[in-house]
Amino acid sequence: MPRGYAGKFLEVDLTKEKIQDITFGDSVLEAYFGGRGLAAKILWDRIDEKWPKVDPLGPDNVFLALTGPMTAVYPGARICCSGKSPLSNGTVGSTASTEFASELKMAGYDGVIVTGKANTPVYILVTDEGGEIRSASHIWGSLGEDTIRVLNREVTEELTKRKPNIGLWREPGIIYIGPAGENLVRTAAVMTKICHAAGYGGYGAVMGSKNLKAIVAKGRGKMPEVDAPETVKLLWKEVHRHLIEESDFRRMGTGYAGYMVGADTSSEPIRNWQEEWHDEKRYGGPLFETRYWVKKYWADFNCTTSCMKISCIKSGRWKGDITDMPDYELEAYCGTNLGIFDPDDNIHISAVIDNLGHSGINGPNTMGFAAELYQRGILTKEDLGFELKWGDAEAFEKLAWLIARREKIGDILAEGTFRAALKIGKMKGVDVMPYAVHVKGIEVGAHGTRSDADYTHDISYAASVQGGDHTSVAVDGYTEMSSAVFTDSAVICNFCFFWVPRSLVFDFAKAVTGFPITMERWRREHGPRIVTLQKALLLMGGPDVRWRPMEDDDNPPRFYEPLASGPHKGKTTDRDLVEKKKSTYFETLGWDERGVPTKETLQKLGLGDLEPMMRTFRR
């Protein structure tokens, strides 16, 4: 058994109510590592050529919550959620910072794999004794904060009853869904710790489709052994030092960016991306810091960077609301994208989104889409039940509830921006796809491509196997293999990774697992293997939609409109550059000119069993 791994995974069949421990071979673990990579492999092995027919919201989908060998050993513990995505019909490695990951490992598990569907709402409890299925009927319908409160108390009391001599049980780790996930809102997130989310991919809806309200983990064992403990200790100190000395995120997280991404790089979504520049000086870190943050330098398990802040509104209309900083993405999406430039309102919407279990990016992307349709007179007060004007926080709160409950037009908006655009287009007899800002079904993160001043540009989203996911953009088919693809599979936090010299991180990986890991191998072999597998699953897609090679490897129409304002006014994404760089990207990864993996590449990466399906996509 390689080191760094606890040694087993918990497999729960909710239909048969069967639980068992399973393992994977050393060679599989070495090739796919954990998290995003391992999830894609497990999904392909289990679903196989039935992939196009499997409904992501049906009982044949698999929900996975996986750690990686570096989780909780390297700073910044996270859990990676995956499955067939209800949005892209491919897979996403969707991560969230949470003690659930470290508790799982200390309970002796590297991950939880859930199949089938429960008859009634349940949650899964994982402890050193194994896994059990418990009733969640009493919390089905609960908002996030209530869910945590109840499960915390219930599980701690139960465990105290079973082992009264332990003393005080500290709170367990919990991942859960809110009403949005329960009602199969396609963009719903897997939530944890009130305001953390595994947002991209819509895996909250996958949990909801299985009647799975939460997974709770409490472990009292030791962390798995590492291959070279003295080396790991030394390297940990080095990593720690780099993060303390060089991290930009310790003071304000990404919360300074609400202003900067608008004013400086002109790439912030404003009113459904109709603009990307603003100069609202109070909308950034300093004001949030002085007026709202109650807890600073607070972190999750084994995290040095400690970028997390807690915002609490202490007076006024929204007194009592609690959310995280908000981070930049939610300052943008729960703020400027809805025409909201008031920090109070932004924090409130963010707290509402968290409690309902919406994804803070994907959910408000659809909300902004709806608001633009309202602006254009395509959606009316009758469709919504209220007026939806830009900047009206109360209206957007109502909209968040409407979608979470699938009421009125909320039922269609709950399908995610792309599918809602298809349905509304048919319903209203007008093409609204030009207003949908998504790539391959996944709504785009809050970094635009038109100004060319942010890190996102031309093929960042267009060529990515995870669509609009801004945390895992396409760069050159080489560099990103040792960043996002790696961190999502090792399952560690990017913000404990960015300032650390790459060689140090990969030495750490080797010292933990004993695998002959190098950054070069990840860039040429491991990363491409994982991304090529994801690309294949994405191509297979189905059952409701399948992306067209080349045509759908593109930016949303809005990203080709010239910017309306600001210092980069008139600029837009360069279509020629997109096409040119896409070709180069495909070539670098060994895919054909339409982005279909070639037979040689599949052989080389050990993915030969994908050839029969991939052949059907080639011209």
Partner 1 sequence: MKVSIRVFGNLVTILGRKQVIELNEGGTVGALSNRLAESAGLRRQGYLGNYKVGGDDLAILVNGRNIHLLDGVETVLKDGDEVVILPPTAGG
Tell me which residues touch partner 1 (CB under 8 A): 254, 257, 261, 327-329, 445-447, 452-455, 457, 459, 470-471, 473, 475-476, 478-479, 482-483, 494-495, 498, 501-503, 519, 523, 580-581, 584-585, 588
**In the complex, minimum distance from the CB of residue 498 to partner 1, in angstroms, rounded to a whole number:** 5
Tell me whether residue 340 or residue 589 sits nearer to partner 1 (CB atom).
589
d(CA 212, CA 122): 5
Cis peptide preceding 543, ω within 30 of 0: yes
**In the complex, minimum distance from the CB of residue 93 to partner 1, in angstroms, rounded to a whole number:** 14
Residues 6+ apart with CB under 8 A from 602: 532, 608, 610, 611, 614
CA atoms within 13 A on the CB side of 98: 32
**In the complex, minimum distance from the CB of residue 254 to partner 1, in angstroms, rounded to a whole number:** 3
Tell me whether residue 326 or residue 363 sits nearer to partner 1 (CB atom).
326
d(CA 558, CA 311): 33
Of 248, 267, 271, whose CA–CA distance to 259 is shortest? 267
Tell me whether residue 121 or residue 363 sits nearer to partner 1 (CB atom).
363
d(CA 616, CA 619): 8
Tell me whether residue 256 or residue 547 sits nearer to partner 1 (CB atom).
256
Q: Hey, is 49 helix, strand or coil?
A: helix
**In the complex, minimum distance from the CB of residue 454 to partner 1, in angstroms, rounded to a whole number:** 8
Greatest alpha-carbon span in the chain: 69
d(CA 70, CA 60): 30
Tell me whether residue 427 or residue 475 sits nearer to partner 1 (CB atom).
475
d(CA 347, CA 121): 31
Tell me whether residue 580 or residue 615 sits nearer to partner 1 (CB atom).
580
**In the complex, minimum distance from the CB of residue 288 to partner 1, in angstroms, rounded to a whole number:** 14
**In the complex, minimum distance from the CB of residue 471 to partner 1, in angstroms, rounded to a whole number:** 4
Tell me whether residue 105 or residue 457 sits nearer to partner 1 (CB atom).
457
d(CA 18, CA 182): 22
**In the complex, minimum distance from the CB of residue 206 to partner 1, in angstroms, rounded to a whole number:** 23
Tell me whether residue 182 or residue 469 sits nearer to partner 1 (CB atom).
469
Output the CA torsion sign for 456, 457, 462, 465: negative
The pair of structure tokens assigned to 177 is: 């869904």
**In the complex, minimum distance from the CB of residue 579 to partner 1, in angstroms, rounded to a whole number:** 11
8 Å CB contact between 250 and 224? no
Q: For residue 452, give the DSSP letter.
A: S
